Structure 1
Amino acid sequence: MQDPSDDAPFTYLPGNEAGGLLIIADHASNRVPPPYGDLGLPRAQFERHIAYDIGTEWLVHRLAAFTGAPALLTRFSRLLIDANRGEDDPTLVMRLSDGAIVPGNAGVDAEERQRRIECFHRPYHRAISEQIDRMLATGVAPVILSIHSFTPAWKGVARPWDVAILWDRDDRMVAPALAAFRARGFVVGDNQPYDGALKNDTLYHHGTMRGLAHLLIEVRQDHIGNQDGANHWAKTIFEVVTPLAARPEMRKAVFYGSRAGGPGM
C-alpha cells in the first residue's frame, strides 16, 4: 500500500493475513498535512490529547511486531478530522476541543468537510475494509483490535484506571479481556472513562456491522508516554489478546445490532 514517507493518510504495516488479528489506530498521529498548516494553533496544542492519542503510534508498531499482524494507523490529526466518527457525526471536525478553539476549523463548510472526508477519513476506512476482505479471503475471520489512549486526569480529577475496554454489543473479546487484565492486577475501566456505544464509529462500522469479534483497548497516557512504557504495554496486550483471539468463538460472524449512544471525551 502507501509508502509512509509520502502524504498518504494512513500507515500500513504488513503482516500475516491468515493470522486472525488486525490492529488499527484511529488517532495515532498529530500530523496536519499540507496545505492545512497548523490550523491556526500553537505547536504546544499538538502535543496534547486533543490532537492525537499519545503513545499509541509506537505501541501499535511494537504490538504489530510482537503479533505479526497487519496494522493500519492514521497519519492525520484528529483536529483535522476524527477517524473514529461516522461521516455524518457533528463532531467529525471539531471547532472547539477541551478549551482550545481551532481557528482552521472555524470556517469549515459542507464542501470543505466533504473534501477532508474524501482525502483523509474515507481512504483510511476503505483501507480497513479492504484489509478485512483480504483476511476473510484466507478463510480466517480476523479479530479487530483498536488501540487508543486516555488522559490521566479529566477536568482536574484523576482517573484511576490503568487500561480500559470500550464496547457496544459484542462481548466475545470483552469479558475475557477484562478478566485477564484484572488478573494481572490492573485497574480496568469497563466502558469507562468513555462509552464504547457510538454509532458509526470505527468498530461499529468494521466490527459490529460485519459481525466480526473486536476489542477497543484504551491505555492511560502516562503509562505509554515513552518508548519503554509503550514496549511494556505492547507486550502486555500481546500476552492478553493473542490467546483470546485464537478461540473458536472469535471466528464466527455474529450480529448483535447496536445500543449506540453519544461520544465521550
Structure 2
Amino acid sequence: MRRLSREDRAEDHDGGRDEAATIDDPSSFPAFEVIPGAAEAGLLLICDHASNALPAAYEGLGLPPGELERHIGYDIGVAGVTRRLAATLGCPAVLSHFSRLLIDPNRGEDDPTLVMRLSDGAVIPGNRHADADEVERRLALFHRPYHAAIEAEIARALAAGAVPAILSVHSFTPVWRGVPRPWHVALLWDADPRFTAPLLEALRAPGDLIVGDNEPYDGALRNDCLYRHGTSRGLAHTLIEIRQDLIGDEAGQQAWADRLAGLLPAILAEPLLHERHAYGSRTGPVPPIYP
C-alpha cells in the first residue's frame, strides 16, 4: 500500500463545524487554545488540526454547507483525545482553533500546500485567488500565533529545567480513494527514534492493533510542525495518527486517551527523551539548533 504524497496528505483528514467568529477582534477568534499543565511534566501535546472553525469574515471559504464537516476540514476525534490525555497526564497541550483549509499549521511557510485550493475533489473558492498578501495575512493572524504558543510552552518547560518530549496528535481516514487502510494507528517520524521506537513497541505488544511505521504517510516533511519544534531543537518527538472510525465518538476518544496514558509514563521515564540531541533529517541538512 503506497504512502501518500505531500498533496494527498494535505487533502486527507476529517471535519465538523465550530462556531464562527470575526477576525476584526483577535480576542474573538483566537488562533489556538492552550490547555494548562505542569511545565515539568516532560511532555507537550500538540494538535495541529484540532478544529475546522473559520472566522465569519471568510464566509465559510465559499464552500457549500456541509463541506467543512467532511475530512477536508480537520482531524476528526483528535481534539477529544488530546484534551483527555492532557487531563490524565497533567501535561500542557496546544490546539489549533482554525480549519486547516484556512491555512495549514502543520506545513512550513514555504510549503506549496500551505493554503489548499483543491482538497479531495472540492474546489475551495475562498482560497482560489488567495494572493501573497492574503497568505501573509493568514500567516500573521493564525499560523504564526499557533507556533508561537508552542514555542512559549517549550520555553516554559526549559525554564523549569525540564526538556520536553513532543507528541503530535493526528487522525486519518479509514478509506482513502476507495482503498481501505488496515492500520488502527501509526507513528510518523523522521530521523530521531527516541520517542517513536519505544511507543511503536508498546502499541504492538498487546497484539490487538495493526500499527503502522511511517504509514500511510512519511514523517520526513521539511519545515513541518515537528521539524520546526522537534528536529530543529533536538527535542524527542513523534506524530501519532489514529484511524478516525476509532475515535469518532467520546467513548473512542476516551479509550484511546486511556490507552496512551497507560503507555506513555514508562516511555517518558527514559532520561534520553529529556536530553537535546541533533539527529538530523532525512530531508537534508538541518539548520543549527535554536533555543
Flag whether TM exceeds 0.5 (same fold): yes
2:180 to 147, 152, 158: 158
User: How far off its partner does 1:5 sit?
Assistant: 8.3
Question: Quick one: which amino acid aligns to residue 202 of structure 1?
Answer: C
Structure 1 39/208 Cα, relative in aligned 2: closer, same or farther at 3 Å? same
| Counterpart check, 1:37 vs 2:59 | yes
User: How far off its partner does 1:102 sit?
Assistant: 0.3
* Alpha-carbon separation, structure 2, partners of 1:230 and 1:217: 14
More moved, 32-41 vs 108-117: 32-41
Question: Quick one: which amino acid aligns to residue 124 of structure 2?
Answer: V
* Alpha-carbon separation, structure 2, partners of 1:5 and 1:184: 45
User: How far off its partner does 1:83 sit?
Assistant: 0.4
More moved, 121-130 vs 39-48: 39-48
Question: Quick one: which amino acid aligns to residue 204 of structure 2?
Answer: R
* Alpha-carbon separation, structure 2, partners of 1:53 and 1:221: 8
Counterpart in the other structure of 1:239 = 262
Counterpart in the other structure of 1:128 = 150
More moved, 176-185 vs 67-76: 176-185
Alignment of 1:9-158 (within 5 A): 9-158=31-180
The Cα offsets for residues 147-204 of structure 1, whole Å up to 9 and x where unpaired, read as 0000001110100000000000101011111111111221001000011000000000
* Alpha-carbon separation, structure 2, partners of 1:241 and 1:111: 43
Counterpart in the other structure of 1:260 = 283
* Alpha-carbon separation, structure 2, partners of 1:242 and 1:144: 13
Provide the TM-score with structure 1 as the length reference: 0.95
* Alpha-carbon separation, structure 2, partners of 1:43 and 1:81: 20
Question: Quick one: which amino acid aligns to residue 140 of structure 2?
Answer: E
Unaligned stretches of 5+ residues in structure 2? 1-25, 285-291
Count the aligned residue pairs.
Answer: 258
* Alpha-carbon separation, structure 1, partners of 2:261 and 2:239: 14
The Cα offsets for residues 216-261 of structure 1, whole Å up to 9 and x where unpaired, read as 1010000000000000001111112222122111111010111129
Counterpart in the other structure of 2:210 = 187
Counterpart in the other structure of 1:213 = 236
User: How far off its partner does 1:6 sit?
Assistant: 3.4
Unaligned stretches of 5+ residues in structure 1? none
User: How far off its partner does 1:55 sit?
Assistant: 0.4
Structure 1 171/12 Cα, relative in aligned 2: closer, same or farther at 3 Å? same
Percent identity of equivalent pairs: 58
Question: Quick one: which amino acid aligns to residue 126 of structure 1?
Answer: A
| Counterpart check, 1:196 vs 2:243 | no
Provide the TM-score with structure 2 as the length reference: 0.87
* Alpha-carbon separation, structure 2, partners of 1:38 and 1:239: 39
Question: Quick one: which amino acid aligns to residue 218 of structure 2?
Answer: D
| Counterpart check, 1:227 vs 2:246 | no
More moved, 100-109 vs 251-260: 251-260
Q: Runs of 4+ in structure 1 displaced over 6 angstroms?
A: none
* Alpha-carbon separation, structure 1, partners of 2:202 and 2:171: 19
